[in-house]
């Protein structure tokens, strides 16, 4: 496993990290989830990402129990705040950040998180209030560093322009061969200001694994067939795109990689990406994905892959 510095922090995070969206505490049984977590540590993964809203606290609770036997300094733990936890509890106000942070720490069974992230931008709370709350959280020792997820460039810049507040070190956008939106504004802005990317859905929710045949139903047991985990995949399960993904298989083979490894290596080719978050329901998936770290791929293969996927996404 290779490691990269997370923005201007002193955190060295594994290039592949383990996430828990739609999986642990929700769509994956506890024993399988524990096996995945153990496989992650075996592979050298030291960065675990979750959020309070995943399973309305269930993912954090699982991790709090599963990590209890491990030394706290043996892993880097990140969680997030913003989405509704009840009819009244949501957003990034000072009171909500303080309340939700304490609740997350209790579920995670820890005194601090290494990275606390704004899960989205809160248009109903002044940015100054949000940043004051995050600055207080760091000063309290409950949070080491702060980040955000899916903030537009103008909001990132507005936060950078504030004085006397703690600075962000991470951005968590969706980014993959089939979703390259951050390249236009977010990645350049962050790279210039000591903020790294922690990428979610680098495999396009499994589509870039190549396991979905456009001419056959999704295989049993895959995310696309899961009621708990497949609800976000409709826009990706388009025959034209799936055929384009199938056309990547010879390129991955030429690179000496599996399809998931090829897609992860493509994401990690970007220097501003510190880590790619994987989701896994089986420990074998964790081991396979972790092996993408440090892969060296001919840029010409990536260029061909980009052209193939662009054609598959074209109207």
DSSP SS3 for 312: helix
Q: At what angle do helices 30-42 and 283-290 cross, to 10 degrees?
A: 30
The encoded tokens of residue 39 equal 């496989």
**To which residue do tokens 């190549």 refer?**
210
pLDDT per residue as tens digits for the range 253-274: 999 999 999 999 999 999 999 9
- At 223 the pLDDT is 55
Range of weakest confidence among 27-41, 79-93, 178-192, 205-219: 205-219
pLDDT per residue as tens digits for the range 156-203: 999 999 999 999 999 999 999 999 999 999 999 999 999 999 999 999
**To which residue do tokens 């895959």 refer?**
222
Helix (H), strand (E) at residue 156:
helix 153-161
pLDDT category of residue 234 using cuts at 50, 70 and 90 = low
CA 131 to chain centre: 22
> What is the DSSP-derived secondary structure letter of residue 23?
S
- At 217 the pLDDT is 66
pLDDT value at 225 more than 60: no
| Catalytic residue (choose from 54, 121, 145, 175) | 54
Strands 16-18, 3-5: pairing is unpaired
Contact 129, 101 (CB under 8 A): no
Q: In sequence order, what DSSP letters do the residues of 47-112 get, joined into one string?
A: EEE--TTGGGGHHHHHHHHHTTTS-GGGSEEEEEE-S-SSSS--S--HHHHHHHHHHHHHHHT-S-
The encoded tokens of residue 220 equal 């049993």
Cα–Cα distance, 1 to 108 (Å, whole number): 25
Cα–Cα distance, 225 to 249 (Å, whole number): 23
- Answer yes or no: 212 catalytic: no
pLDDT value at 228 more than 80: no
Cα–Cα distance, 5 to 56 (Å, whole number): 30
Q: What is the dihedral of CA 37, 100, 71, 141, to 10 degrees?
A: 150
> What is the DSSP-derived secondary structure letter of residue 9?
S
pLDDT value at 291 more than 70: yes
Distances (CA, A) of 47 to 4, 42, 115, 194, 271: 11, 13, 10, 19, 18
Contact 35, 284 (CB under 8 A): no
């Amino acid at each position: 496993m290779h490691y990269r510095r997370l923005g201007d922090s002193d955190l060295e995070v594994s290039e592949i990290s383990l996430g828990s969206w739609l999986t642990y505490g929700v769509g994956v049984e506890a024993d399988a989830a524990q096996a995945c977590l153990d496989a992650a540590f075996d592979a050298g993964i030291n960065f675990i990402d979750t959020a309070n809203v995943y399973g309305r606290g269930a993912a954090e609770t699982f991790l709090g129990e599963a990590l209890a036997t491990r030394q706290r300094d043996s892993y880097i733990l990140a969680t997030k705040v913003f989405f509704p936890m009840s009819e009244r509890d949501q957003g990034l106000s000072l009171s909500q950040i303080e309340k939700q942070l304490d609740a997350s720490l209790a579920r995670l069974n820890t005194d601090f998180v290494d990275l606390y992230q704004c899960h989205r931008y809160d248009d109903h709370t002044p940015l100054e209030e949000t940043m004051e709350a995050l600055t207080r959280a760091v000063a309290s020792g409950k949070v080491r560093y702060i980040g955000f997820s899916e903030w537009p460039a103008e909001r990132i810049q507005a936060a950078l322009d504030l004085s006397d507040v703690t600075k962000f070190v991470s951005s968590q956008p969706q980014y993959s061969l089939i979703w390259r939106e951050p390249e236009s504004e977010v990645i350049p802005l962050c790279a210039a200001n000591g903020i790294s990317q922690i990428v979610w859905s680098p495999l396009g929710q499994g589509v870039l694994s190549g396991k979905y045949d456009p001419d056959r139903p999704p295989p049993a047991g895959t995310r696309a067939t899961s009621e708990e985990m497949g609800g976000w995949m409709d826009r990706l399960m388009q025959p034209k795109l799936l055929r384009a993904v199938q056309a990547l298989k010879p390129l991955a083979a030429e690179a000496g990689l599996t399809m998931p490894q090829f897609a992860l290596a493509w994401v990690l080719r970007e220097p501003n990406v510190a880590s790619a978050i994987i989701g896994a329901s089986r420990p074998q998936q964790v081991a396979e994905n972790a092996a993408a770290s440090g892969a060296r791929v001919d840029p010409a293969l990536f260029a061909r892959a980009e052209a193939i996927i662009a054609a598959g996404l074209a109207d």
